[in-house]
Amino acid sequence: MEIDPAVLEETQRGTLAELLGIRFVEATKDRVVAQLTIRDALRTHGGKLHGGTIMALADTVGATATVLNLPPGAGTTTIESKTNFFAPGQEGIVRAETVPLHRGRRTMVWQTRITDESGRLLAQTIQTQMVLA
């Protein structure tokens, strides 16, 4: 079942996701895709996309995917996150796509791939989300 990306963006108003400019483009319980445009405020002193921006993008997308899979009344928090960086983001739009590796009653694990406009892999994050009753 497709979830309206505009609804997801509305839930992010006033948060770091909005500050970073994260835009949701696709969402189901099995896959969430978001993107952001690289701009000067998101770069390192060396001019590349900051790794913290990439990690925040991945965390936002993985947490959002978890929320879409929670039972009624439950919440979530990230309890572990590991990111491997492969190439620097330099210009344009980066895309984050997350898919589940595990969806349990107490934890969910998501794998997020961050790519540039050419499809080049910039980073991969695996995060564990705790399900809060």
In the chain, what are the domain boundaries? 5-132
Question: Would the pTM of this model clear 0.85, i.e. be above it?
Answer: yes
Tens of pLDDT, residue by residue over 47-88, are 999 999 999 999 999 999 999 999 999 999 999 999 999 999
Task: Give the mean pLDDT of 113-132.
Answer: 98
**What is the pLDDT at residue 1?**
84
The answer on pLDDT for 34 being more than 90 is yes
- What strands, in cross-sheet order, belong to the sheet with 75-85? 23-28, 31-37, 93-103, 107-115, 121-132, 75-85
Rounded CA-CA distance 46/48 in Å is 6
CATH classification code of 5-132: 3.10.129.10
Rounded CA-CA distance 57/53 in Å is 6
